[in-house]
Amino acid sequence: MNTLIAPSVLAADFANLQKDSEMLNKSQADWFHIDIMDGVFVPNISFGMPVLKAIAKHATKPLDVHLMIVNPDQYIETFAALGSAVLTVHYEACDHLHRTLQKIKSCGMKAGVALNPHTPISVLESIIKDIDVVCIMSVNPGFGGQSFIEETYTKVRALKALITEKGSTALIEIDGGVTNKNAKQLVDAGADVLVAGSYVFGAEDPMKTIEGLKSL
C-alpha cells in the first residue's frame, strides 16, 4: 500500500487556517491530522470544536482527529457531526475501550487507538481486530516539534506482527517527530500512515516536503 501522509495542522498558521487548508488540499497529503488537547490528559491546550469546524469548512480530505483528552466518550457524537473521518482516542484515557470503539464506529467513523511511548503493544492483543487505526506516539503527546523516540521502530515491528497474527486490518500510524530522516525506516518497519507537523509546516516548501514523504 502507498504510505498515507497526514500533516498535523497543529503546526499550521492559526491566523490563516484557510490558506494552509487549501495548501493541503492541493498537496499530495492524504488526511488532515487534527490534534485536540484538553490540558488534563496532556499538559497543553490546543484548540476545540470551533476551530475544527473552521478547518472542516475548507478541507477536501478526510479529517483524522487525534483526541488527547480524558473522557473522550462524551464528545464522540460531536466529532462525528463536525465531519471527522477517523476518531482516535488514547488507550490510557479509556476504561472501557471496547465500548468506546463500538460507539465511534456506530457514529460512522473509523476507530483509532493511540498509545503513549511507555505503553506496550501487547495491551492491544484482545482488541486489535476492533481497531481501524493504531497510532503509535513517537513523542510524548502534548506538543509539536519534539524529537523522535528511537524505540518506536521496535514497537512498529511488534504491532505489525500482532496485526498479521490476528488477521486485523488496522493501519499503523506514527505520530511525532517524523521527518525524512526516519520516514523510510518507519515504512520499512510496517508504518502505513505518517503524521508530520513541524517538518511539513516549518519547511520552505510544504507541498514539496509532503511530496518527498509520499514518494519514499
Binding site for Zn ion (CB under 5 A): 35, 66, 175
Q: Which of 72, 112, 177, 212 binds ligand DX5 (CB under 6 A)?
A: 177
Assess whether 175 carries a catalytic annotation: yes
C-alpha pair distances (Å), 36 with each of 40, 43, 64, 87, 211: 11, 12, 11, 11, 26
Based on the shown chain and the rule CB under 6 A, indicate whether residue 212 belongs to the binding site for ligand DX5. no
Residue 41 in grid coordinates: 490528559
Based on the shown chain and the rule CB under 6 A, indicate whether residue 195 belongs to the binding site for ligand DX5. yes
Assess whether 38 carries a catalytic annotation: no
How big is the CA angle at 141 (ends 138 and 142), to the nearest 5 degrees? 140
Smallest separation, CB 153 to ligand DX5 (Å): 16
Q: Which of 72, 141, 190, 212 binds ligand DX5 (CB under 6 A)?
A: 141
Residues in the chain: 216
> By three-state DSSP, how is residue 136 classified?
strand
Among candidate residues 20, 30, 35, 132, the one labeled active-site is: 35
Determine the interface stretch with ligand DX5 among 15-23, 24-32, 55-63, 194-202 (rule: CB under 6 A).
194-202
Q: How far apart are the first and last CA of the chain?
A: 12
Based on the shown chain and the rule CB under 6 A, indicate whether residue 142 belongs to the binding site for ligand DX5. yes
| C-beta separation of 126 from 164 below 8 A | no
Q: Which of 4, 8, 20, 131 binds ligand DX5 (CB under 6 A)?
A: 8
Smaller CB distance to Zn ion: residue 148 or 166?
148
| C-beta separation of 63 from 84 below 8 A | yes
For 182-213, b/e burial (b = at least 16 CB within 10 A) is bbeebbebbbbbbbbbbbbbeeeebeebbebb
Smallest separation, CB 109 to Zn ion (Å): 16
Q: Which residues sit at the interface with ligand DX5, rule CB under 6 A?
A: 8, 10-11, 33, 35, 66, 139, 141-146, 175-178, 195-199
Residues marked active site are found at: 35, 175
